[in-house]
Structure formats: structure tokens, C-alpha cells
Amino acid sequence: MSDLKRAYNFNPGPGALPLEVLQQAQAELLDFKGTGMSVMEISHRSKEFEAVIQTAEADLRELLGIPSNYKIMFLQGGATLQFAMLAMNLRPAGASADYIVTGTWSKTAIKEAKKLGTARAAANTEADGFNCIPAKLDLDPKAAYLHFTSNETIHGVEFFTEPTPPDGVPLVCDTSSNFISRPIDVSKYAFLYAGAQKNAGPSGVTVVIARDDMIERTPENLPVMLDYKTLAASGSLHNTPPSFAIYMVGLVFQWAKKQGGLAAIEKTNRVKAGMVYDAIDQSGGFYRGHAKVDARSLMNIPFRLPSEELEDTFAKEAKKNNLIGLKGHRSVGGMRASVYNAVTIEGATALVDFMKEFQKKNG
């Protein structure tokens, strides 16, 4: 193990997982809790797996401070299925839903919702290149809900205060890429969802947190795998759940608690992101961040270099230096550093040192 070579992993998703979590999964892989089987090989109705899913839920409740009138579900189909599923469950027939469109993911969410009914944009920052949080919202007081994406993974813009919906309009949030990255007041939300593979585990499981009255909205006769009421009532065990992925997110929740909880994690995340933004700001324009300063994500940091050629060279040389996953999304171009919870300060330091060295040679 001493010659173990781990990459500095800046992948946007699936992203980095804490080394301790991977090591625990490795240690338990062949014989989970004395069963003589891996957690992948045991029944999802066994007492051992029941303990896994219940502990994961309890730890998440503690981490995020989730009140008892909210259900937690571990579902499949990714955040992308939630785009359609939440519209099918939370928007009554004939009603309209509001969406704040701030990047690729919220744009995709409203597109899905429009296939199944009425949805309107309460704001759309596409004309600004999706680089900001909208200053003004045009809100429908009768909307079935107000949906927003708390962190746009591709454009690197993040909401640091929740939008305020009109009285009685539930707030719905795609928190896939900043889930458990800092404390939030869950009571401000009616419904939250997150694909695990950005910040909380492997792909294959999506965490859904739904206030009880949201689950009551589920209409009759939805196909069962699209029906929150059934899935919540079964404790996410209506059918075979993604048991290994649930086990892994459970380990990540335990790891997050060991770090001191979300306040401590936020502190580290601010240090890491701060280092990268400082390197951008102190580069005299060699590196240019995509997002406006007050909307800068703590998780995903897209930035450009003076030319596409230099961007290619940057990605190649970074890779040689064991810095992986820095190529940006094609829609924004350039580079993107994803500094999720599991990216260490050591990793962020290695990136920033490389950025400075690269500029010295190429600036």
C-alpha cells in the first residue's frame, strides 16, 4: 500500500470520494459484518442491509438537520429522472410550475417539465452566458412549485441564499453538485434532490428529501417506480434498491460527520475554492473565471486561458502532474476544477502550484 498512487481528482462527476471511505469499503468488501458475503451479495431485506439504509438515513438527517416531517428516499434514474418525476408528482393536472434557469442543469429540468405540462421561467440568465444569479424573479403566485438549481455544475454558479417563493409556493431544489457541502436550512425547502455521484457517493443512487405534504400530492395511477407515495411508504424498498451505492453514500455521511459535520466541511471547502479563485484573480488576466464574483461556486470552478491551444497544453501537462479531470465542459470551454468535499487541501494546493508554474512558463 505504501506505493499507492492516487490522482488529484478534479472530475465533475462521478467525482472524488474520500480515501478513508474507499478503504473502508475495501476492508469490508469480502465479508460484510460477519456475513461472509459482500454488501452487494446480501438481501436488501436482510437485517444487515436494513441497518445500512436506516443508518444512512439517520446520519443524513443529523448532518443536514432534516425535520421529522420530511421523508428521505434513495432512488434510481439519476437527478435526470427527478426532472420528470417531480413534475409528475408535484404539479397537479392543469397547474404551472416556475423554474429559475441559471445554467445547463436548470435548463434541462424545465425542458423535461414542459414535456409533461406547463412550466415557465421565473428568470433566465442565458443571455449573460449563465454567469450569475438573477437579481429579479418574475414569480407566479399560483405556481405548483418554484424550482431552482442551487449549484450549476457546468457554469459554476451557486446560490448562497435561497430564492424566496411567493407565500404557499413550495421551493424545490436540484442540489446534486453542492449536496452536503455546507449547512442549509432544510425547512425553507419543500423538496430537494441530488444525484450522489457529484459530492456524496458513487453513481446509481439519487437522494430525495421530500416534505410530507409534497408526497401527498402524488396523483393516482402513476407507474409505481415514478410514485413518491409508494416509494416513500416502502422506505425505498419497494423493489431492489441500488444497495451498494446506498452503502457507499452511508459511508460518506459517516465520514462527513467525522470531519465535524457540514459547518466544518464548509470551512474546508471555502479554503479550497478560495485558493483556486485567488490564483485566478492574481494571474493578471491569464486565467479568467466564468462566473461573476458574487455567484462563484465553491464546488465547480470553470476558467479560461488566453487561447484554446494553451488550454489543451494546460490539460495535458496537468495530467502529467497527476492533476486529473480539469478539462471544462464543451459548452463553456476551457478548464473546470471541481473541488468537491473529498478533494483535499493538499490537492487544491497542488493545483494552484501547477497553475502558477504554468503561467510562469506560458504567460
Is 11 among the residues that bind ligand PLP (CB under 6 A)? no
User: 98 an active-site residue?
Assistant: no
Three-state SS string over 104-147 comes to HHHHHHHHHHHHHCEEEEEEECHHHCCCCCCCCCCCCCCCCCEE
Q: Which amino acid is at 187?
A: S
Give, as ranges, the residues between 63 and 122 that touch ligand PLP (CB under 6 A): 78-80, 105
Shortest Å distance, C-beta 154 to ligand PLP: 8
Smallest CA-to-CA distance from 247 within 32, 87, 70, 14 is with 32
Which single residue brings its beta carbon nearest to ligand PLP?
78
Cβ-based nearer residue to ligand PLP, 107 or 211 = 107
Is 59 among the residues that bind ligand PLP (CB under 6 A)? no
User: 198 an active-site residue?
Assistant: yes
Is 14 among the residues that bind ligand PLP (CB under 6 A)? no
Active-site option among 174, 229, 255, 272: 174
CA distance 203 to 98: 28
Using DSSP bridges, classify how beta strands 118-124 and 96-101 pair: parallel, antiparallel or unpaired. parallel
CA distance 337 to 276: 8
Smallest CA-to-CA distance from 80 within 102, 56, 111 is with 111
Cβ-based nearer residue to ligand PLP, 298 or 355 = 298
User: 356 an active-site residue?
Assistant: no
151: helix, coil or strand? strand
Shortest Å distance, C-beta 214 to ligand PLP: 19
Which of 102, 124, 149, 338 contacts ligand PLP by CB under 6 A? Answer: 149
Using DSSP bridges, classify how beta strands 206-211 and 191-195 pair: parallel, antiparallel or unpaired. antiparallel
Active-site option among 71, 107, 198, 272: 198
Shortest Å distance, C-beta 208 to ligand PLP: 12
Cβ-based nearer residue to ligand PLP, 105 or 159 = 105
Active-site option among 59, 71, 98, 105: 105
Is 195 among the residues that bind ligand PLP (CB under 6 A)? yes
CB 81 within 8 Å of CB 205: no
Which letter, b or e, does each residue of 288-300 get, where b requires 16 or more Cβ atoms within 10 Å of its Cβ? Answer: ebbbeeebbbbbb
Q: Where are the beta strands (DSSP E) in the chain?
A: 8-9, 70-75, 96-101, 118-124, 146-149, 151-152, 157-158, 171-174, 191-195, 206-211, 288-289, 300-304, 323-324, 335-338
Number of residues near ligand PLP (by CB under 6 A): 12
Which of 91, 198, 272, 327 contacts ligand PLP by CB under 6 A? Answer: 198
Give, as ranges, the residues between 159 and 188 that touch ligand PLP (CB under 6 A): 174, 176-177
CA distance 67 to 163: 20
Is 202 among the residues that bind ligand PLP (CB under 6 A)? no
Is 363 among the residues that bind ligand PLP (CB under 6 A)? no
Cβ-based nearer residue to ligand PLP, 42 or 332 = 332
Cβ-based nearer residue to ligand PLP, 140 or 174 = 174
Mind telling me the catalytic residues?
A: 105, 174, 198
Q: Where does this chain bind ligand PLP (CB under 6 A)? A: 13, 78-80, 105, 149, 153, 174, 176-177, 195, 198
